[in-house]
Structure 1
Amino acid sequence: MSRPPLLAVCLPSYAEEETVGPVARTVAEGLERLGGRVRPLIVHVDCGSPDRTAARFRALRLPVPALQRVAPRGKGNALRTFFAVCGQEGARFALSFDTDLTAVTPRWVAAFADPLLDGTAQAVLPAYPRSAYEASATHHLALPAVFARTGRLVPQPIGGEFGLDLDVVDPAGLDWSGSTLRFGVDIALTFRMLERARTVALAAPGVKRHKPSFFHLSEVFAEVAETTLRLAAAGPVTAAAEVSGGDGPALWPGSWAHRAASRALFERARTGLLRQGQSVPAWADPALPGWAAERWVRSLSAALADAGLPGADPAAAARALTPLFVVRATSFWLAAERGGLPAARTALLDQAYALRRTAHPAPTV
C-alpha cells in the first residue's frame, strides 16, 4: 500500500507576532481534517522578524509536524526557502497562507487542497472578495496585466494564498532574483501556473481579512510592477491552463478607513505629476476617475510594450509608473464611494478589457 503524498504548507512571516499563532493553529486544524489523504507538514519561514514572531511559533504545540526556517527579508525569499524544503522532504503538493490573516478558518485548507488531491486541478488560486478600498495592486496592475498577456481573467493573481502540484508546476523554473524575492513573487508564480498547469481552480473560502496594507501601497506596487515588466520583457505568455470559474474580481464593501491618508497620498502623487508637466484633475473634480482610468491603461500598456526593448530597466519603469498608479487607485476609491460596488466592479473589468485590446489590437483588414 502506497504512502499518502506529502502536503507542505508555507507560513511566511515578517513581524506577525499577534497573528502567526492563530493562523498556524487554524491551518493545522484544517490539515487534520484532510485525514489520511495526505502526510501534512507546516513550514514556518520567518524573514528576520524584529519582534517575537519566531518565538511565538516555536512555542506552539501543533497537532501536525512543523518546521521553522529563517530567510532574508522578502516574501519571495521565504517561498524560495520553503520550496527548497519541499524538495528535501519530497513534498508532492504545496500550499501557502499569509500569516497576517485575521479571518482564516480551517476550511481554507480544504478549499486550496481538495482540487489538487482530487486531480481536478494542478494549481489553485484564490477568488475571495476583496474590499473595494484595498487590493489596489491586484485590481489595477496584476489582474489587467495577467489578462492582457494570457487572456485569462484571474481574480486574485497576487492574492497571497495558493496551491500547487509540484510535479506539474515546478517553481524551480522561476527567475529567483530582483523583486521576485520580495512582493513580486506572487505574480511570477501566477504566470508560471498559467503556463504549466492544465487547469487552475479558483478557491472561494470567504472574504479575506488581514492587517491593513494601505501604507505599503507604493512599495507593493513597485515590486509587483518590476516583476511584471521583467516577465513582459521575456516575451509573450502562452497560457496552457483553463481557469475554472474566472469571471473577474469580486468586491465587498469594506471600509475606507484611510480616506484622509488617501487624499494626502493622492496630493503628493499629483504634485509630482504636475511637476513633470502633466495636467491632473483635482481630488474634487468629477472628471478625475475617468481621466485616471484612461491615462493608466495607456501608460501601463506602453510600459508593457517597452519592457522588451534594448536597455529597458523594469525597476526604473516601475518607479516611473508609481505616481500615476497612486492617482488611479485613489480615484477608483472615490468612484467606488460615489457609484457603489457594481459600478466599481464594472470599471475594473472595463479597465482589464481595455488593456487587453491595447496590448493585442484586433487585426485590420
Structure 2
Amino acid sequence: MNTMSNEVDIIIGIPSLNEADNIAFVARQLALGLNKYFPTHSAAIINVDNNSKDGTKEAFLGAETDKIPKRYISTEETVVGKGNNMRNLFIEVVQRKAKAVIVVDADLKSVTPEWVKTLATPILEGYDYVTPIYSRNEYDGTITNHITYPLIYALFKANIRQPIGGDFSFSPRMARYWLGMAWEKNTRQYGIDIFMTTSALLNGFKVCQVALGSKVHKPSAPKLGEMFTQVITTLFSNISKFRNVWMNGIGNKDCPILGNSSYKEPQGLSVDYKGIRKASFDGFSKNEGIISSILSPSYYHITQRMYHAGRWNIGSELWAKKLYDFIFAYEMSENKEDVVEALKPLYFARVASFYRQTMDMTHQEAEEKIIKQAKQFQRMRDTW
C-alpha cells in the first residue's frame, strides 16, 4: 500500500456506514480521476467511517487505486452520525495542509473520474465551497425539493439547487471555519450537509455549483424519518442563529453554475405512496394539538378538512405558508423538538400531494414545478 505523506494537495473523503458493497467502486473511480486529471498533485483518498460491521473497511482498503494512497479513519465504537465522520475529515484536512477537498457518498453508482476534475478545479482556482447540480428524479431528495432548496432560495436569496446533495468540495479555509463553529447534536449526524452549506453562504465564502450529470444511488427513503429531524432542526437553528445576516441581505447570493449543466435522464425511482400517505395521516393524528397551535387558524382549518376527507392537496402556496409558520414557532418555542416532529406529517402530506400533482408529468416538467415552488416561497417571504 502506498504511504500517505504528511502534506497532501488533494484529499477525497468518502463518509460511510455499512457500504461494503459499493465503496471499492467509488474509490476506484476517484483514483482514476486523480491520476488522469491531477497527476502532478499529491493526493489521498480517506474513508471516514462509522464503525461499519459489514466489511466496509476491508473493501475500501482492498480497492485498486494505483499509486493513490488510502487511509481509513473511524469514529469511536459508540459514536455515530455522518457529521462525526466529516469532523474527522476536517481535522485531517487541516493537519495535512490540503489545497482542495472533495467529498463523495459511498453509495454512488454514477460517480465517474470526471467528477474529480469538476469538483476540485473550482477550489484550486479560488472558490471555497462547491455544491452539485444533478439530473435527479423529482421524488428523490424530497427534503431538498420541498424544504431546504426553497427556503435557501427565499430567505438567503441563493439559488443553490442541491444544498444537501452529499457530493461537494471545499477549501481548507472552510474546514478551519467549520471546526471553529459550535456543533449541535444534529450537526454531528445528518444535519452536517445543511450546516456546511448555510454557514458557507452566510459568512462571506465564495460559493459555486457544478454539473455532475445524473445521480444514481441507494434510495434515501428508508432513512427519511431520522434524516428529516436532523436536517430540519439544523436548518431552522441556522435560520434563527443567522437571522440578522440574511434579514439584512448580507451573505453570498452569487452562486454561479460552472460547466455544462445539460439535461440527462435521471435515475428511475419507485414511490411508496401508500406508506408516505399513512405516515402523514398517522403523524397528523398524533400531533394535531401542536399543529393547531402553530398554524394560522385558516391554514389549520384547510389542513384539518383535508385530513378528515382522507385526501391531501397541499399546493406550493399553502405549503410555504405552513413552513413559515413553523419557522416562527421553532424560534419562539421552548420545545423545539416537538415543533420539528409536528412538521414531519405535514412534510409527508406535501410529498404525497406533489406526487399526485406530478405523476403524469415528465421529469423536466416536475423540475419546473419545484423551481416555481421556490419562487413562490420567495414571493411570500415579504408577507411572512
TM class by smaller structure: 0.7 to 0.9
Q: Counterpart amino acid of 1:184?
A: G
CA distance in structure 2 between the partners assigned to 1:233 and 1:118 by the alignment: 33
- What displacement does 1:343 show? 3.6
Pick one of 56, 60, 69 that aligns with 1:57: 60
Q: 1:5 to 1:116 in 2, by over 3 A?
A: farther
Select between 84-93 and 56-65 the one with higher mean Cα deviation. Answer: 56-65
Q: 1:252 to 1:293 in 2, by over 3 A?
A: farther
- What displacement does 1:281 show? 5.7
RMSD, aligned CA = 2.7
Structure 1 match to 2:337: 315
Q: Counterpart amino acid of 1:324?
A: L
Q: After the TM superposition, which residues 21-36 of structure 1 pair with which residues of structure 2 at under 5 Å, given as runs?
A: 21-36=24-39
Structure 2 match to 1:239: 251
Q: 1:316 to 1:252 in 2, by over 3 A?
A: farther
CA distance in structure 1 between the partners assigned to 2:210 and 2:371 by the alignment: 20
Alignment pair present for 1:157 and 2:144: no
Pick one of 66, 71, 94 that aligns with 1:67: 71
Select between 228-237 and 189-198 the one with higher mean Cα deviation. Answer: 189-198
- What displacement does 1:92 show? 2.5
1:111 aligned counterpart, secondary structure? helix
Structure 2 match to 1:166: 172
- What displacement does 1:252 show? 4.8
User: In the TM superposition, what whole-angstrom CA distance separates every residue of 1:250-298 from its partner, at most 9, and x where no partner exists?
Assistant: 895543423xx3212212312432562723268995xx44x25343212
Q: Counterpart amino acid of 1:164?
A: F
Select between 291-300 and 216-225 the one with higher mean Cα deviation. Answer: 291-300
Q: 1:167 to 1:268 in 2, by over 3 A?
A: closer
Structure 1 match to 2:268: 255
Identity %: 26
Pick one of 278, 281, 292 that aligns with 1:267: 278
TM-score by length of 2: 0.84
CA distance in structure 2 between the partners assigned to 1:256 and 1:9 by the alignment: 28
Q: 1:333 to 1:159 in 2, by over 3 A?
A: same
1:131 aligned counterpart, secondary structure? coil
Q: 1:253 to 1:36 in 2, by over 3 A?
A: closer
CA distance in structure 2 between the partners assigned to 1:189 and 1:272 by the alignment: 30
- Which residues of structure 2 form unaligned runs of 5+? 1-6, 293-303
User: In the TM superposition, what whole-angstrom CA distance separates every residue of 1:138-159 from its partner, at most 9, and x where no partner exists?
Assistant: 1011101211221011010000
Alignment pair present for 1:303 and 2:326: yes
Pairs aligned (count) = 352
Q: 1:152 to 1:37 in 2, by over 3 A?
A: farther
Q: 1:348 to 1:312 in 2, by over 3 A?
A: farther
TM-score by length of 1: 0.88
Structure 1 match to 2:296: none
CA distance in structure 1 between the partners assigned to 2:330 and 2:351 by the alignment: 23
- Which residues of structure 1 form unaligned runs of 5+? none
Structure 1 match to 2:373: 351
Q: 1:283 to 1:343 in 2, by over 3 A?
A: farther
Structure 2 match to 1:361: 383
Q: Counterpart amino acid of 2:279?
A: R
Q: After the TM superposition, which residues 1-365 of structure 1 pair with which residues of structure 2 at under 5 Å, given as runs?
A: 6-62=9-65, 63-71=67-75, 72-119=79-126, 121-167=127-173, 170-236=177-243, 237=246, 238-245=250-257, 252=265, 254-258=267-271, 261-274=272-285, 276=288, 278-280=304-306, 288-289=312-313, 291-309=314-332, 311-361=333-383
Q: Counterpart amino acid of 1:153?
A: N
- What displacement does 1:168 show? 5.2
- What displacement does 1:342 show? 4.0
